């Protein structure tokens, strides 16, 4: 192999080696970030609900149940009024 072909080969091989090293580094960094993220997500999903959030949720459910009962009563009252007056209520 003459000197000119050796130089051409080196000129082509060096960028390929650097590119392969860059890809390898990116893959390793992505794997590391994913493992950290996996641990964080796992830890977060294993925790019970925050006590204040759980109390607030129970309070909201209770309020919704009360509103539903009130709406039913209002609907029955409106139906009784419409029937008594003969009105066509919707």
Threshold 0.75, pTM exceeds: no
Q: What does the pLDDT look like over 19-54, one tens digit per residue?
A: 999 999 999 999 999 999 998 888 877 777 666 677
The model's confidence at residue 83, banded by pLDDT at 50, 70 and 90, is confident
Cα angle 46-50-55, degrees, rounded to a multiple of 5: 135
Phi-psi region of 86 (alpha: psi -120 to 50; beta: other; left: phi over 0): left
Alpha helices (H) along 1-90 = 3-46, 51-85
């Amino acid at each position: 192999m003459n000197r000119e072909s050796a130089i051409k080969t080196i000129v082509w091989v060096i960028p390929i080696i650097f590119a392969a090293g860059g890809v390898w580094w990116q893959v390793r960094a992505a794997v590391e970030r994913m493992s950290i993220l996996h641990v964080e997500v796992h830890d977060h999903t294993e925790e019970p609900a925050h006590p204040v959030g759980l109390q607030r949720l129970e309070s909201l459910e209770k309020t919704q149940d009360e509103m539903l009962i009130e709406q039913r009563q209002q609907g029955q009252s409106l139906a009784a009024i419409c029937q008594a007056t003969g009105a066509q209520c919707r």
